[in-house]
Amino acid sequence: MNLTERRERFRAVLAGDQCVHAATVFDPISARFAEDLGFELGFLPGRAAAATVLGAPDLVLLTLTEFAQQVRRICRASNISLMVDADHGYGNALNVMRTVEELENAGVSALSIEDTALPIGFGSARSEEPRHSHDQLVPLEEGVGKMKAALAARQDRSLVIVGRTSALGFKGIPEAIRRVKAYEKAGVDAIFLAGARTGKEIEAVHAETKLPLLVVQVPMALATSESDMADQRFLAANGVRIASPGHFAFLASVKAVYDTLKALRDGKSLVDLRPTLASSELLDQVTQQSQYNEWIKNFLN
């Protein structure tokens, strides 16, 4: 499947009337599993990328080159329509243009550019979670400029440019609506409502824009089935077309590696560990062993 076809599939989800879950993917194997299991979309978040590539927290330490390389590996290994978190575009509006160029060439179907002031400025961290503690958004005019730059830089018109705003968490509903309207006027294809925690927030924004919305279903909202954020039908009715249920696959993989290595170090029996391991059949499936066997037969014999 070529890249334009993947991007058109992503656009079809945005144009639909359902809210779909995007699978968190972070390497070729996770992307292939997501595709094999029938997920329409994959999502590479900054947190997972930073941890996978650098073993570092999500503090904008990952360079654009490193990020694009990981994206390229994922897109080469699977046909899933991939959305990525491109943070603030790695700088000003000109850096945003370079970011779009690199990620488009790497194979993404969609990318989001956010309006948070990144990286952390001196004196702006005021809590135990510095990445999310500062309350600085870039000026609205700068945010609009970044969105316009991203749109101008794309070559394939089917590539989806998502305007991501953190205004809900930092400034509240009125500022979020102001920014959403401005980014819609600039021409973005969708809006990522970072920090959305209640159905009331989503309803308020949806009433003011025709653009499809993207959200992360925060763990506290998923703790109860009565939460609007956990209700796919409610989200769909209020313009949300893509919801990330949290980065559980990534977190589970981290814990599995830790638990297995700790068990080995503690002297746990190899027989006891066997039920937790991937079977050879599953490994052959995700590495496409049968396809390689066919190529060996056709081209090396």
**Structural domains present in the chain:** 3-249 (3.20.20.60), 254-299 (no CATH)
pLDDT of residue 178: 98
What Å distances lie between residue 63 and 2, 43, 188, 215, 250, CA to CA? 26, 18, 24, 25, 20
The C-alpha atoms of residue 61 and residue 231 are separated, in whole angstroms, by: 35
pLDDT at 224: 55
pLDDT for res 163: 98
Contacts of 14 (CB under 8 A, 6+ apart): 160, 189, 190, 212, 241, 242
- pLDDT value at position 156? 98
The pLDDT, as a whole number, for residue 131 is 46
What backbone torsions phi and psi does residue 237 show, to the nearest 5 degrees? -70, -20
Q: pTM for this one? A: 0.94
Share above pLDDT 90 across residues of the chain, in percent, rounded to a whole number: 88
Residue type for position 280: S
Using only the alpha carbons of the chain, give its radius of gyration: 20
Q: Which pLDDT belongs to residue 124?
A: 74
Is the link from the previous residue into 174 a cis peptide, with omega within 30 of 0? no
Residue ranges, the chain, pLDDT below 50: 130-131, 133-134, 221
Confirm if 166 and 133 have CB atoms less than 8 A apart: no
- 211: amino acid identity, one letter: L
pLDDT at 299: 98
Report the alpha-carbon distance of residue 198 to residue 217 in Å, rounded.
Answer: 10
Q: Read out DSSP for 160-194?
A: EEEEEE-HHHHT-HHHHHHHHHHHHHHT-SEEEET
Contact between 72 and 107 under an 8 Å Cβ cutoff? The reply is yes
